[in-house]
Structure 1
Amino acid sequence: MKELFNFVLRFGNLNEQQIEFIKGKSTELHLSRDEYFSEAGKIARQVGFIVDGILRVCYYDNKGEEITKYFIEENNLVVDLESFDNEIHSSTYVQAVTDCTMIVFSRKDWLELLQTIVGWEAIVHKIISRALIQKVERRSPLVSEDATTRYLKFLEIYPTVVNRIPLSYIASYLGITQSSLSRIRKNIR
Protein backbone atom coordinates (compact mmCIF):
# COMPACT_ATOMS: atom_id res chain seq x y z
CA MET A 1 0.00 0.00 0.00
CA LYS A 2 2.93 2.30 0.79
CA GLU A 3 4.05 2.08 -2.87
CA LEU A 4 0.66 3.30 -4.08
CA PHE A 5 0.72 6.38 -1.88
CA ASN A 6 4.38 7.15 -2.65
CA PHE A 7 3.31 7.15 -6.31
CA VAL A 8 0.06 9.12 -5.94
CA LEU A 9 1.56 11.78 -3.67
CA ARG A 10 4.02 12.74 -6.43
CA PHE A 11 1.01 14.18 -8.28
CA GLY A 12 -0.84 15.97 -5.47
CA ASN A 13 -1.61 16.07 -1.77
CA LEU A 14 -3.91 13.92 0.34
CA ASN A 15 -4.63 14.14 4.05
CA GLU A 16 -4.71 11.13 6.40
CA GLN A 17 -8.50 10.85 6.25
CA GLN A 18 -8.42 10.74 2.43
CA ILE A 19 -5.63 8.16 2.47
CA GLU A 20 -7.64 5.96 4.86
CA PHE A 21 -10.71 6.33 2.64
CA ILE A 22 -8.69 5.24 -0.41
CA LYS A 23 -7.26 2.26 1.51
CA GLY A 24 -10.79 1.22 2.42
CA LYS A 25 -11.82 1.14 -1.25
CA SER A 26 -8.88 -0.97 -2.43
CA THR A 27 -8.29 -4.70 -2.52
CA GLU A 28 -5.16 -6.70 -3.19
CA LEU A 29 -5.09 -8.86 -6.30
CA HIS A 30 -2.60 -11.55 -7.25
CA LEU A 31 -2.32 -12.48 -10.90
CA SER A 32 -0.36 -15.52 -11.99
CA ARG A 33 1.84 -15.30 -15.05
CA ASP A 34 -0.28 -15.31 -18.26
CA GLU A 35 -3.48 -14.41 -16.37
CA TYR A 36 -5.50 -11.46 -17.68
CA PHE A 37 -6.22 -8.24 -15.80
CA SER A 38 -8.66 -7.24 -18.54
CA GLU A 39 -9.63 -8.83 -21.85
CA ALA A 40 -10.59 -7.82 -25.37
CA GLY A 41 -14.34 -8.10 -25.96
CA LYS A 42 -15.11 -7.31 -22.31
CA ILE A 43 -15.64 -4.04 -20.47
CA ALA A 44 -12.76 -3.03 -18.18
CA ARG A 45 -14.19 -2.82 -14.67
CA GLN A 46 -11.18 -2.03 -12.50
CA VAL A 47 -8.17 0.22 -12.08
CA GLY A 48 -4.99 -1.37 -10.78
CA PHE A 49 -1.68 -0.29 -9.34
CA ILE A 50 1.23 -2.69 -9.86
CA VAL A 51 3.10 -3.33 -6.62
CA ASP A 52 5.19 -6.16 -8.03
CA GLY A 53 5.37 -7.66 -11.52
CA ILE A 54 4.98 -6.73 -15.17
CA LEU A 55 1.89 -6.56 -17.36
CA ARG A 56 1.71 -6.19 -21.10
CA VAL A 57 -0.97 -4.71 -23.32
CA CYS A 58 -1.52 -6.76 -26.47
CA TYR A 59 -4.01 -7.43 -29.25
CA TYR A 60 -4.44 -9.72 -32.23
CA ASP A 61 -4.03 -8.22 -35.71
CA ASN A 62 -6.20 -9.15 -38.70
CA LYS A 63 -3.91 -12.12 -39.46
CA GLY A 64 -4.45 -13.47 -35.95
CA GLU A 65 -0.92 -12.61 -34.87
CA GLU A 66 -0.41 -11.42 -31.31
CA ILE A 67 1.09 -7.92 -31.09
CA THR A 68 2.52 -6.47 -27.87
CA LYS A 69 1.80 -2.74 -27.67
CA TYR A 70 3.70 -1.98 -24.46
CA PHE A 71 4.69 -3.16 -21.01
CA ILE A 72 3.68 -1.75 -17.64
CA GLU A 73 5.98 -2.37 -14.72
CA GLU A 74 5.89 -1.77 -10.97
CA ASN A 75 4.72 1.54 -9.53
CA ASN A 76 2.31 2.35 -12.34
CA LEU A 77 -1.44 2.46 -12.66
CA VAL A 78 -3.03 0.16 -15.20
CA VAL A 79 -6.47 0.46 -16.78
CA ASP A 80 -7.95 0.15 -20.25
CA LEU A 81 -9.06 3.77 -19.98
CA GLU A 82 -11.33 3.94 -23.03
CA SER A 83 -13.20 0.79 -22.04
CA PHE A 84 -13.34 1.74 -18.34
CA ASP A 85 -14.47 5.35 -18.82
CA ASN A 86 -16.97 4.73 -21.62
CA GLU A 87 -18.11 1.26 -20.55
CA ILE A 88 -17.38 -0.15 -24.00
CA HIS A 89 -15.81 -3.45 -24.99
CA SER A 90 -12.05 -3.40 -25.01
CA SER A 91 -9.99 -4.13 -28.09
CA THR A 92 -6.89 -5.15 -26.11
CA TYR A 93 -5.78 -7.63 -23.49
CA VAL A 94 -3.87 -6.66 -20.35
CA GLN A 95 -1.94 -9.77 -19.36
CA ALA A 96 0.47 -10.61 -16.54
CA VAL A 97 3.90 -11.35 -17.98
CA THR A 98 5.19 -12.30 -14.52
CA ASP A 99 3.34 -13.13 -11.33
CA CYS A 100 1.88 -9.81 -10.18
CA THR A 101 0.70 -8.25 -6.97
CA MET A 102 -1.64 -5.35 -7.48
CA ILE A 103 -3.85 -2.97 -5.56
CA VAL A 104 -7.16 -2.69 -7.40
CA PHE A 105 -10.26 -0.54 -7.29
CA SER A 106 -13.60 -1.55 -8.74
CA ARG A 107 -15.25 0.91 -11.11
CA LYS A 108 -17.87 1.74 -8.48
CA ASP A 109 -15.22 2.47 -5.82
CA TRP A 110 -13.01 4.44 -8.25
CA LEU A 111 -15.96 6.64 -9.21
CA GLU A 112 -16.73 7.12 -5.52
CA LEU A 113 -13.15 8.28 -4.93
CA LEU A 114 -13.52 10.77 -7.80
CA GLN A 115 -16.77 12.11 -6.33
CA THR A 116 -15.68 12.18 -2.69
CA ILE A 117 -12.04 13.27 -2.52
CA VAL A 118 -11.40 16.89 -3.37
CA GLY A 119 -8.45 17.03 -5.76
CA TRP A 120 -8.49 13.30 -6.63
CA GLU A 121 -9.63 14.01 -10.18
CA ALA A 122 -6.72 16.46 -10.67
CA ILE A 123 -4.26 13.86 -9.34
CA VAL A 124 -5.68 11.19 -11.65
CA HIS A 125 -5.55 13.59 -14.61
CA LYS A 126 -1.83 14.27 -13.96
CA ILE A 127 -1.13 10.53 -13.70
CA ILE A 128 -2.97 9.81 -16.97
CA SER A 129 -1.21 12.71 -18.74
CA ARG A 130 2.17 11.40 -17.59
CA ALA A 131 1.30 7.89 -18.77
CA LEU A 132 0.21 9.11 -22.21
CA ILE A 133 3.36 11.20 -22.65
CA GLN A 134 5.48 8.24 -21.52
CA LYS A 135 3.70 5.94 -23.97
CA VAL A 136 4.38 8.29 -26.90
CA GLU A 137 8.01 8.82 -25.83
CA ARG A 138 8.53 5.07 -25.61
CA ARG A 139 6.95 4.26 -28.99
CA SER A 140 8.10 7.20 -31.14
CA PRO A 141 11.82 6.33 -31.34
CA LEU A 142 10.97 2.76 -32.28
CA VAL A 143 8.98 3.62 -35.40
CA SER A 144 11.68 4.64 -37.86
CA GLU A 145 14.75 2.84 -36.50
CA ASP A 146 16.38 -0.39 -37.64
CA ALA A 147 15.84 -3.50 -35.49
CA THR A 148 19.15 -3.26 -33.59
CA THR A 149 18.55 0.38 -32.69
CA ARG A 150 14.99 -0.45 -31.62
CA TYR A 151 16.30 -3.16 -29.31
CA LEU A 152 18.93 -0.85 -27.81
CA LYS A 153 16.21 1.78 -27.23
CA PHE A 154 14.05 -0.92 -25.62
CA LEU A 155 16.89 -1.64 -23.18
CA GLU A 156 17.02 2.08 -22.30
CA ILE A 157 13.26 2.42 -21.93
CA TYR A 158 12.71 -0.80 -19.95
CA PRO A 159 16.02 -1.48 -18.16
CA THR A 160 14.44 -3.60 -15.41
CA VAL A 161 12.15 -5.59 -17.70
CA VAL A 162 14.35 -7.27 -20.30
CA ASN A 163 15.50 -10.26 -18.20
CA ARG A 164 12.10 -10.84 -16.65
CA ILE A 165 9.93 -11.40 -19.72
CA PRO A 166 9.89 -13.88 -22.62
CA LEU A 167 11.86 -12.90 -25.72
CA SER A 168 8.79 -13.57 -27.85
CA TYR A 169 7.01 -10.60 -26.18
CA ILE A 170 10.01 -8.32 -26.73
CA ALA A 171 10.22 -9.38 -30.39
CA SER A 172 6.50 -8.72 -30.82
CA TYR A 173 6.86 -5.28 -29.22
CA LEU A 174 9.78 -4.46 -31.52
CA GLY A 175 7.99 -5.78 -34.61
CA ILE A 176 10.62 -8.40 -35.42
CA THR A 177 10.84 -12.20 -35.31
CA GLN A 178 12.21 -13.97 -32.31
CA SER A 179 15.12 -15.36 -34.37
CA SER A 180 16.03 -11.81 -35.49
CA LEU A 181 15.99 -10.71 -31.86
CA SER A 182 18.26 -13.61 -30.88
CA ARG A 183 20.75 -12.61 -33.63
CA ILE A 184 20.68 -8.97 -32.49
CA ARG A 185 21.25 -9.96 -28.86
CA LYS A 186 24.16 -12.23 -29.86
CA ASN A 187 25.79 -9.47 -31.93
CA ILE A 188 25.50 -6.91 -29.14
CA ARG A 189 27.23 -9.02 -26.47
Structure 2
Amino acid sequence: MEVFINYILQFGNLNQQQMDFILSKAKPLELHKEGYFSEAGKIPRYVGFLLKGVVRFCYYNNKGEEITHSFVEEYNFVSDQQRFEAQIISSEYIQAETDCELLVFSKKDWDEIGNTILSWKEIENLILKNCLLKAIERRSPLVSEDATNRYLLFNEHFPGLVNRVPLSHVASYLGITQQSLSRIRRNVR
Protein backbone atom coordinates (compact mmCIF):
# COMPACT_ATOMS: atom_id res chain seq x y z
CA MET A 1 0.00 0.00 0.00
CA GLU A 2 2.87 2.37 0.79
CA VAL A 3 4.31 1.89 -2.72
CA PHE A 4 0.93 2.82 -4.19
CA ILE A 5 0.57 5.95 -2.08
CA ASN A 6 4.16 7.03 -2.81
CA TYR A 7 3.47 6.58 -6.53
CA ILE A 8 0.37 8.79 -6.37
CA LEU A 9 2.12 11.46 -4.27
CA GLN A 10 4.58 12.00 -7.14
CA PHE A 11 1.72 13.65 -9.02
CA GLY A 12 0.08 15.81 -6.35
CA ASN A 13 -0.42 16.46 -2.67
CA LEU A 14 -2.98 14.57 -0.63
CA ASN A 15 -3.63 14.69 3.09
CA GLN A 16 -3.89 11.57 5.26
CA GLN A 17 -7.70 11.59 5.16
CA GLN A 18 -7.68 11.66 1.35
CA MET A 19 -5.10 8.88 1.15
CA ASP A 20 -7.14 6.77 3.57
CA PHE A 21 -10.25 7.39 1.46
CA ILE A 22 -8.47 6.26 -1.73
CA LEU A 23 -7.16 3.15 0.01
CA SER A 24 -10.64 2.37 1.33
CA LYS A 25 -11.80 2.09 -2.30
CA ALA A 26 -8.94 -0.21 -3.38
CA LYS A 27 -9.55 -3.95 -3.49
CA PRO A 28 -6.80 -6.58 -3.76
CA LEU A 29 -6.86 -8.78 -6.85
CA GLU A 30 -4.67 -11.77 -7.61
CA LEU A 31 -4.33 -12.67 -11.24
CA HIS A 32 -2.72 -15.96 -12.21
CA LYS A 33 -0.29 -16.23 -15.10
CA GLU A 34 -2.18 -16.05 -18.43
CA GLY A 35 -5.31 -14.74 -16.71
CA TYR A 36 -7.01 -11.67 -18.13
CA PHE A 37 -7.29 -8.32 -16.39
CA SER A 38 -9.40 -7.06 -19.31
CA GLU A 39 -10.65 -8.79 -22.47
CA ALA A 40 -11.56 -7.74 -25.98
CA GLY A 41 -15.31 -7.84 -26.49
CA LYS A 42 -16.01 -6.87 -22.86
CA ILE A 43 -16.26 -3.60 -20.98
CA PRO A 44 -13.17 -3.06 -18.80
CA ARG A 45 -14.15 -3.46 -15.14
CA TYR A 46 -11.16 -2.01 -13.31
CA VAL A 47 -8.29 0.38 -13.10
CA GLY A 48 -5.44 -1.43 -11.36
CA PHE A 49 -2.10 -0.68 -9.76
CA LEU A 50 0.37 -3.52 -10.26
CA LEU A 51 2.08 -4.44 -6.99
CA LYS A 52 3.71 -7.62 -8.28
CA GLY A 53 4.11 -9.15 -11.72
CA VAL A 54 4.00 -8.23 -15.40
CA VAL A 55 1.07 -7.77 -17.77
CA ARG A 56 0.98 -7.29 -21.50
CA PHE A 57 -1.43 -5.48 -23.79
CA CYS A 58 -2.24 -7.40 -26.96
CA TYR A 59 -4.74 -7.68 -29.80
CA TYR A 60 -5.38 -9.81 -32.85
CA ASN A 61 -4.69 -8.26 -36.26
CA ASN A 62 -6.82 -8.82 -39.36
CA LYS A 63 -4.80 -11.98 -40.17
CA GLY A 64 -5.66 -13.46 -36.78
CA GLU A 65 -2.11 -13.01 -35.47
CA GLU A 66 -1.67 -12.07 -31.83
CA ILE A 67 0.27 -8.80 -31.49
CA THR A 68 1.83 -7.65 -28.21
CA HIS A 69 2.04 -3.87 -28.17
CA SER A 70 3.17 -3.15 -24.61
CA PHE A 71 4.24 -4.52 -21.26
CA VAL A 72 3.63 -3.08 -17.80
CA GLU A 73 5.73 -4.04 -14.80
CA GLU A 74 5.35 -3.59 -11.04
CA TYR A 75 4.50 -0.22 -9.53
CA ASN A 76 2.55 1.11 -12.50
CA PHE A 77 -1.11 1.57 -13.33
CA VAL A 78 -2.82 -0.92 -15.63
CA SER A 79 -6.01 -0.09 -17.49
CA ASP A 80 -7.72 0.27 -20.81
CA GLN A 81 -8.41 3.79 -19.57
CA GLN A 82 -10.30 5.26 -22.49
CA ARG A 83 -12.76 2.38 -22.67
CA PHE A 84 -12.94 2.09 -18.86
CA GLU A 85 -13.94 5.76 -18.57
CA ALA A 86 -16.49 5.52 -21.40
CA GLN A 87 -17.65 2.06 -20.27
CA ILE A 88 -17.48 0.73 -23.82
CA ILE A 89 -16.31 -2.62 -25.18
CA SER A 90 -12.56 -3.10 -25.40
CA SER A 91 -10.76 -4.19 -28.55
CA GLU A 92 -7.66 -5.49 -26.77
CA TYR A 93 -6.60 -7.85 -24.02
CA ILE A 94 -4.63 -7.16 -20.87
CA GLN A 95 -3.11 -10.49 -19.85
CA ALA A 96 -0.93 -11.53 -16.92
CA GLU A 97 2.52 -12.66 -18.05
CA THR A 98 3.34 -13.80 -14.51
CA ASP A 99 1.29 -14.27 -11.37
CA CYS A 100 0.20 -10.76 -10.44
CA GLU A 101 -1.04 -8.87 -7.40
CA LEU A 102 -2.95 -5.66 -7.96
CA LEU A 103 -4.96 -3.03 -6.17
CA VAL A 104 -8.06 -2.45 -8.26
CA PHE A 105 -10.78 0.17 -8.42
CA SER A 106 -14.22 -0.37 -9.91
CA LYS A 107 -15.74 2.34 -12.10
CA LYS A 108 -18.07 3.35 -9.27
CA ASP A 109 -15.22 3.64 -6.75
CA TRP A 110 -12.90 5.41 -9.24
CA ASP A 111 -15.62 7.97 -9.97
CA GLU A 112 -16.32 8.38 -6.25
CA ILE A 113 -12.66 9.24 -5.65
CA GLY A 114 -12.83 11.84 -8.42
CA ASN A 115 -16.06 13.32 -7.06
CA THR A 116 -14.77 13.48 -3.48
CA ILE A 117 -11.16 14.66 -3.82
CA LEU A 118 -11.05 17.97 -5.68
CA SER A 119 -7.47 17.59 -6.92
CA TRP A 120 -7.95 13.96 -8.03
CA LYS A 121 -8.74 14.67 -11.70
CA GLU A 122 -5.53 16.69 -11.98
CA ILE A 123 -3.53 13.88 -10.33
CA GLU A 124 -5.24 11.31 -12.56
CA ASN A 125 -4.41 13.33 -15.68
CA LEU A 126 -0.74 13.60 -14.66
CA ILE A 127 -0.60 9.84 -14.04
CA LEU A 128 -2.17 9.14 -17.45
CA LYS A 129 0.21 11.58 -19.13
CA ASN A 130 3.17 9.87 -17.42
CA CYS A 131 1.97 6.41 -18.54
CA LEU A 132 1.48 7.63 -22.11
CA LEU A 133 4.90 9.29 -22.24
CA LYS A 134 6.55 6.11 -20.94
CA ALA A 135 4.78 4.05 -23.61
CA ILE A 136 5.82 6.47 -26.36
CA GLU A 137 9.38 6.62 -25.05
CA ARG A 138 9.60 2.83 -25.19
CA ARG A 139 7.81 2.36 -28.53
CA SER A 140 9.03 5.25 -30.71
CA PRO A 141 12.70 4.24 -31.04
CA LEU A 142 11.65 0.76 -32.14
CA VAL A 143 10.14 2.08 -35.37
CA SER A 144 13.40 3.26 -36.95
CA GLU A 145 15.83 0.67 -35.57
CA ASP A 146 16.97 -2.65 -36.96
CA ALA A 147 15.98 -5.82 -35.10
CA THR A 148 19.19 -6.08 -33.05
CA ASN A 149 18.92 -2.49 -31.84
CA ARG A 150 15.22 -2.96 -31.06
CA TYR A 151 16.19 -5.92 -28.85
CA LEU A 152 18.95 -3.92 -27.14
CA LEU A 153 16.54 -1.01 -26.53
CA PHE A 154 13.96 -3.45 -25.16
CA ASN A 155 16.50 -4.72 -22.63
CA GLU A 156 17.41 -1.15 -21.73
CA HIS A 157 13.78 -0.15 -21.12
CA PHE A 158 12.75 -3.44 -19.52
CA PRO A 159 15.83 -4.84 -17.73
CA GLY A 160 15.40 -8.54 -16.99
CA LEU A 161 11.93 -8.75 -18.53
CA VAL A 162 13.12 -11.08 -21.30
CA ASN A 163 13.62 -13.71 -18.57
CA ARG A 164 10.13 -13.23 -17.12
CA VAL A 165 7.88 -13.41 -20.18
CA PRO A 166 7.53 -15.81 -23.14
CA LEU A 167 10.00 -15.04 -25.93
CA SER A 168 7.15 -15.25 -28.45
CA HIS A 169 5.59 -12.18 -26.78
CA VAL A 170 8.91 -10.31 -26.81
CA ALA A 171 9.33 -11.15 -30.51
CA SER A 172 5.80 -9.93 -31.24
CA TYR A 173 6.47 -6.67 -29.37
CA LEU A 174 9.67 -6.17 -31.36
CA GLY A 175 7.95 -7.01 -34.65
CA ILE A 176 10.21 -9.96 -35.46
CA THR A 177 9.90 -13.74 -35.57
CA GLN A 178 10.84 -15.84 -32.59
CA GLN A 179 13.63 -17.44 -34.67
CA SER A 180 15.10 -14.00 -35.40
CA LEU A 181 14.93 -13.14 -31.72
CA SER A 182 16.77 -16.35 -30.81
CA ARG A 183 19.47 -15.58 -33.38
CA ILE A 184 19.84 -12.01 -32.13
CA ARG A 185 20.08 -13.18 -28.51
CA ARG A 186 22.84 -15.66 -29.44
CA ASN A 187 24.83 -12.96 -31.28
CA VAL A 188 24.44 -10.32 -28.59
CA ARG A 189 25.74 -12.39 -25.68
TM-score of the superposed pair, with normalisation by structure 1: 0.98
Aligned to 1:137: 137
Aligned to 2:38: 38
Aligned to 1:9: 9
Counterpart residue identity of residue 3, structure 1: V
- Tell me the distance in 1 between the aligned counterparts of 2:183 and 2:65: 22
CA apart distance, 1:160: 3.6
Aligned to 1:75: 75
**Aligned sequence identity (%):** 57
- Tell me the distance in 2 between the aligned counterparts of 1:106 and 1:90: 16
Task: Supply the RMSD in Å over aligned alpha carbons.
Answer: 0.7
The 5-angstrom pairing of residues 103-114 of structure 1 reads 103-114=103-114
- Tell me the distance in 2 between the aligned counterparts of 1:136 and 1:105: 25
Counterpart residue identity of residue 43, structure 2: I
Counterpart residue identity of residue 32, structure 2: S
Unaligned 5+ residue runs, structure 2?
none
Counterpart residue identity of residue 7, structure 2: F
CA apart distance, 1:166: 0.9
Aligned to 1:89: 89
Task: Identify the range of structure 1 (106-115 vs 79-88) with the bigger mean alpha-carbon deviation.
Answer: 79-88
Aligned to 2:154: 154
Aligned to 1:48: 48
Deviations 1:108-146 (A, max 9, x none): 000000000121111110000011111111111001211
Deviations 1:49-97 (A, max 9, x none): 0000000000000111000000000110111012111111111100000
Does residue 119 in structure 1 map to residue 119 in structure 2? yes
Count of equivalent residues: 189
Does residue 172 in structure 1 map to residue 175 in structure 2? no
Task: Identify the range of structure 1 (94-103 vs 18-27) with the bigger mean alpha-carbon deviation.
Answer: 18-27
- Tell me the distance in 1 between the aligned counterparts of 2:83 and 2:44: 5
Spell out structure 1 runs of 4+ moving beyond 3 A.
none
- Tell me the distance in 1 between the aligned counterparts of 2:114 and 2:79: 15
- Tell me the distance in 2 between the aligned counterparts of 1:161 and 1:36: 19
- Tell me the distance in 2 between the aligned counterparts of 1:33 and 1:172: 18
- Tell me the distance in 2 between the aligned counterparts of 1:9 and 1:94: 26
Deviations 1:142-176 (A, max 9, x none): 01211001000101111142211111110010011
Counterpart residue identity of residue 26, structure 1: A
